[in-house]
Amino acid sequence: MSKLLNLIILFLFPFFFASIASSDTPPSTPITPTNLCKSTPDPNYCKSVLPPTKNANVYYYGRFSVKSSISQATKFLSLVNKYLQRSNTLSVPAIRALQDCKTLGELNLDFLTSSFQTVNKTTRVLGSYQADDIQNLLSAILTNQQTCLDGLQEASSAWSVKNGLSVPLSNDTKLYSVSLALFTKGWVPKTKNKVGTSSSVQVTRKQLGFKNGRMPPMQMSSQTRAIYESVSRRNLLEPVVGTQVKVNGIVTVSQDGTGNFTTINDALAVAPNKSSSTDGYFLIYVTAGIYDEIVSIDKKKTYLMMIGDGINKTIITGNQSVVDGWTTFNSATFAVVGQGFVGVNFTVRNTAGAVKHQAVALRNGADLSTFYSCSFEGYQDTLYAHSLRQFYRECDIYGTVDFIFGNAASVFQNCNIYPRLPMSGQFNAITAQGRTDPNQNTGISIHNCTIKPSDDLAANIGAAATYLGRPWKQYSRTVYMQTFMDSVVDSKGWKEWDGDFALSTLYYAEYDNNGPGSNTSNRVTWAGYHVINSTDASNFTVSNFLLGDDWLPQTGVTYTSSLI
């Protein structure tokens, strides 16, 4: 494929990868594996795993690929468990990396099983919301594979384990990529926009809910309300106009012993498992205080809502880091995987410091998750937007190197982004987006935010350059829209990762930004960098990128659907 054609595809079709050779073939039309595989990132590998059936269509091959992926994921998880059974012969960092791989492998099995249930019974293009659900799961599987490998590479003492797992990791990743490509070709509509909506139409709609950190009206039983009113501060119940938030239970965490629990993890232990979106939220109210604990919300703890007393009042803190033997993945002070999580009014810190390099404050792998009026403080790798769909509103984010990173489909709206003073010789990169496959519907969208230096950097403004981002992985995708950029942002805008790596395959874009750092006249001239118009920018709004109108209203969190 020519460089020019590659550019056209990257610019016009940022959400989907398609081969010219097979893009016009209807999914229900019989097609040979050779022709079908031209629409995948690795055609030769694709041909090697698909059955040589001459009269099958995309749906047949797609089901075959997902079913094969389930089999391979099961075998890989078994292999990881065999290594863990020999843990007495392994170093602590190697064990931690393997435990990450086990956690991620279990998620992959869940995601593949759920995906297969859909593709096995459906032989048609799906509606936007249903297609988005499965495309997100299949995208996350690839992210989980890469995270497992990254952790093994970080644990230098795990070289023997890495050697044993690298080949199956690589082969399984290629198979999962085939599954994602075929699902995208057969089941995903050509546009994410809802029926009757054009991406060129600018519709701004605000869902009123949480306002100034206060809670909207809540639907709850009389017994739950009585408990709530007896243990929580009354100003949290100040009514505002908006969708009611349904609550099915509540506990209070308070360090002085006046609540139900004194630690957050004890409160999490009593939260119900596998709640659905219609059940309502289990609410954990965390009163002011410094909670020195590593918080982990696993996949069973779905539709939880956690509310603190405010930024810098309710503080969750930890100090794990890669230098001290943790992987980046498990260095997080606060980690959440359970779907539908909503966090409001608290601060998460990793206090390991710049000298400890990768040290995560928040790691978020929770689908349909929301953080409102929260603060995340660290240096390198502060906020790990790991996977699936995420929304952040009116949050403060502090860091230095790659401090908003990961491979979720994430939108940051009305947030304050504060580059800090890094170590001598370092530069600041606000983002390091980790998209590894052209069919992943992931990326970082920063909308109507403010970028200003933190106090320590402002006092030493010439000590380090600050860039909007750099490409952590091959298809890195980040967009800044209608955001204020202070002069702290380098005029070049973006930073290379390693030579010319990913400069033609990434997708970096800016739209209608303002402030002294927003001038694009001296920006990089990479093939993958663009100054875009409103039509292209609308692809990265809450409504189109996250399909947020379908799930954000129930959270009660304020959001803007489209461009402002």
- Active site (catalytic) residues: 402
Say how far apart CA 314 and CA 317 lie, in whole Å: 10
pLDDT of residue 282: 94
If asked whether residues 325 and 182 sit together in one domain, one would say no
**DSSP one-letter code for 514:** B
In a domain, 269, yes or no: yes
Position 161 scores a pLDDT of: 83
Assigned domain for 317 exists: yes
In this structure, is residue 21 part of a structural domain? Answer: no
Contact assessment for residue 217 and residue 245, using Cβ atoms and an 8 Å cutoff:
yes
Residue 231 lies inside a defined structural domain of this protein: no
Domain-ending residue, one of 167, 187, 207 = 187
- Give the pLDDT score at 27: 84
Q: Is residue 165 part of a domain?
A: yes
Residues found in the chain: 564
- Each as own residue / partner, the long-range contacts of residues 223-231 (CB below 8 Å, 24 or more positions apart, any chain) are 224/248, 224/249, 224/250, 228/283, 228/285, 231/258, 231/259, 231/260, 231/285
Angle at 262 between CA 258 and CA 263, to 5 degrees: 155
Q: Domain check: are 175 and 321 in the same one? A: no
Whether residue 124 is found in the same domain as residue 261: no
Same domain (yes/no): 183, 254: no
This prediction has a pTM of 0.89
| CATH code, domain carrying 169 | 1.20.140.40
What pLDDT is attached to residue 243? Answer: 56
Quick one: pLDDT at residue 192?
Answer: 56
3-class secondary structure per residue, 169-229: HHHHHHHHHHHHHHHHHHCCCCCCCCCCCCCCCCCCCEECCCECCECCCEECCHHHHHHHH
CATH assignment of the domain containing 502: 2.160.20.10
Residues 42 and 155 in one domain: yes
Domain that holds residue 445: 247-555
Report d(CA 233, CA 226) in Å as an integer: 13
Spell out the alpha helix ranges (H) of 241-306: 264-270
In a domain, 9, yes or no: no
Verify that 176 and 257 share a domain, yes or no. Answer: no
Residues 160 and 252 in one domain: no
pLDDT on residue 205: 39
Are residue 38 and residue 136 in the same domain, yes or no?
Answer: yes
- For the chain, give the longest Cα–Cα distance: 71
Number of domains comprising the chain = 2
Instruction: Provide the pLDDT for residue 24.
Output: 58
Q: Which of 187, 216, 239 is the last residue of a domain?
A: 187
Residues whose CB is less than 8 angstroms from the CB of residue 84 and which lie 6 or more positions away in sequence, other chains included: 95, 98, 99, 102
Single-letter residue type at 494: W
* Share of the chain residues as helix, strand and coil, in percent rounded to the nearest 5: 35, 20, 45
Domain boundary among 168, 187, 206: 187
CA distance 41 to 20: 13
pLDDT for the residue 248: 87
Is there a domain that residue 4 lies in?
no
pLDDT one digit per residue (tens) for the chain, 564 residues: 444 444 433 444 444 333 333 455 678 889 999 999 999 999 999 999 999 877 799 999 999 999 999 999 999 999 999 999 988 889 999 999 999 999 999 999 999 999 999 999 988 999 999 999 999 999 999 999 999 999 999 887 767 788 889 999 999 999 999 999 999 999 999 875 432 233 333 333 344 345 444 444 444 445 445 444 543 433 333 333 345 788 888 999 999 998 999 999 999 999 999 999 999 999 999 999 999 999 999 999 999 999 999 999 999 999 999 999 999 999 999 999 999 999 999 999 999 999 999 999 999 999 999 999 999 999 999 999 999 999 999 999 999 999 999 999 999 999 999 999 999 999 999 999 999 999 999 999 999 999 999 999 999 988 999 999 999 999 999 999 999 999 999 999 999 999 999 999 999 999 999 999 999 999 999 999 999 999 999 999 999 999 999 999 999 899 999 999
Asked if 66 and 168 sit in the same domain, the reply is yes
Same domain for 473 and 335, yes or no, is: yes
In a domain, 361, yes or no: yes
Give residue 245's pLDDT.
81
> Cα(363)–Cα(440) distance, rounded to whole angstroms?
20
Structure tokens at 514: 């303002």
Same domain, 183 and 260: no
Do 274 and 173 belong to one domain? no
